[in-house]
């Protein structure tokens, strides 16, 4: 009964103590067998006395499968006292299969080719407040990719993509950020704009990538009533260089942007998206959402309005910590239906809001 009261209670924790949420994770697919593990989020304040300091979090997930595959991720997101500095990063190791369909925005389901992937990602971002709502910073990252085609004669080998089976990249970049959000968790008002340019020098030679990556992320939030919020997000990513390896191409679809599409079903040199989400928090512990948007991937000079793909769906939010706006998110999303194929859909269970 104490557990039930805690889960459903409308009371908020105002002590600003460290909060730890841990959940089991389980799944099954033909490629992985049984997948099991845990995911967690640690929330804390670097300055408990300053109520303007935003909540810092450390997200983590570790899973293993009965076919000897593994996935390990740690993502810290730290705000110092008075939000003077913002430090974020990712540590990821992944030995997992994924489905490769080729490149472009018209790939076919029949070309699905299961690929074994071994991935190491290390990156960090550090930003400093210049004035109220304005930040500038840098980012540094390293990524290492290795692939093995699990099916002889699949599109990975025969599609004419000149694909390499491994690659490394180091990149260094700079960012400017405009951030007037009232909170970085469950935002109800304000704007967010982040522009980033990163450059990958010819550090590893051979077929490894040398070139530039440009990212833009704009968000706007408006409170329509005490319980109703309208959020909007638009993103852009572009990869530029003489050699564009498939593993670095921007990908349409994940649990945050263009929900409803399998990550990597469509990938190309540029990615553009726009979507809105209506959030109704009818009690402190629960909210419901409806969302919809559009997006596509394209090569330089080939963007067309007719290529934009739809997505829409709905979801439920459970506030594990109502005072800090920490949510557990469950979404069901729908995408396009290509001729001769079932409609693309996705179900997502995740920590924190999509944006």
pLDDT score recorded for residue 242: 79
pLDDT score recorded for residue 164: 60
Residues of 47-69 as b/e, b for ≥16 C-beta within 10 angstroms?
Answer: beeeeebbbbbebbbbbbbeeeb
pLDDT score recorded for residue 6: 63
**Average pLDDT over the chain, rounded to whole?**
90
pLDDT score recorded for residue 222: 97
CA quadruple 50, 128, 238, 208: dihedral, nearest 10: -120
Q: In the beta sheet, which residues pair with residue 237?
A: 215, 271
For the ranges 4-8, 24-28, 187-191, 276-280, the lowest mean pLDDT is seen at 4-8
pLDDT score recorded for residue 311: 96
Residue 129 structural domain: 2-351
Domains of the chain: total: 1
pLDDT score recorded for residue 97: 85
Q: Please give the C-alpha separations between residue 306 and each of 245, 251, 303, in angstroms, as whole numbers.
A: 26, 19, 9
Residue 35 maps to which CATH number? 2.40.160.50
Which of 38-42, 103-107, 192-196 has the highest average model confidence (pLDDT)?
A: 192-196
Q: In the beta sheet, which residues pair with residue 61?
A: 39, 73
- pLDDT tens for each residue of 209-262: 899 999 999 999 999 999 999 999 999 999 999 788 888 999 999 889 999 999
In the structure, what pLDDT confidence band is assigned to residue 44 with cuts at 50, 70 and 90?
Answer: very high
What SS3 class is residue 23?
Answer: strand
């Amino acid at each position: 009964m104490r557990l039930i009261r805690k889960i459903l209670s409308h009371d908020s924790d105002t002590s600003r103590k460290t909060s730890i949420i841990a959940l089991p994770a389980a799944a099954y697919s033909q490629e992985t067998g049984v997948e099991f593990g845990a995911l967690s989020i640690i929330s804390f304040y670097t300055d408990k006395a300053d109520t303007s300091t935003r909540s810092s979090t450390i997200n983590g997930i570790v899973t293993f499968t009965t076919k000897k595959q593994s996935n390990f991720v740690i993502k810290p997101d730290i705000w110092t006292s008075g939000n003077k500095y913002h430090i974020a990063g990712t540590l990821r190791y992944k030995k997992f299969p994924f489905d490769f369909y080729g490149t472009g925005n018209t790939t076919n389901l029949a070309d699905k080719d299961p690929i074994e992937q071994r991935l190491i990602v290390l990156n960090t971002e550090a930003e400093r407040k210049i004035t109220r709502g304005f930040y500038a910073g840098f980012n540094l990252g390293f990524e290492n990719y290795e692939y093995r085609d699990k099916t002889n004669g699949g599109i990975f080998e025969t599609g004419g993509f000149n694909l390499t089976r491994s690659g490394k990249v180091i990149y260094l970049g700079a960012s400017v950020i405009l951030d007037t959000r009232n909170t970085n968790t469950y935002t109800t008002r304000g704007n967010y704009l982040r522009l980033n340019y990163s450059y990958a020098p010819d550090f590893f030679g051979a077929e490894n990538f040398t070139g530039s990556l440009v990212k833009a992320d704009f968000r706007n939030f408006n409170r329509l009533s005490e319980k109703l919020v309208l959020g909007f997000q638009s993103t852009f990513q572009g990869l530029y260089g003489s050699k564009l390896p498939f593993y670095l191409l921007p990908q349409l679809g994940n649990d945050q942007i263009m929900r409803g599409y399998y990550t990597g079903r469509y990938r190309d040199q540029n990615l553009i998206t726009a979507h809105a989400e209506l959030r109704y928090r009818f009690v402190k512990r629960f909210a419901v959402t409806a969302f919809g948007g559009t997006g596509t991937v394209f090569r330089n000079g080939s963007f067309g309005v007719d290529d934009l793909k739809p997505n829409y769906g709905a979801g439920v939010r459970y506030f594990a910590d109502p005072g800090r706006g920490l949510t557990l998110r469950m979404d069901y999303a729908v995408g396009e239906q290509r001729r001769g194929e079932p409609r693309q859909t996705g179900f997502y269970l995740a920590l924190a809001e999509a944006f």
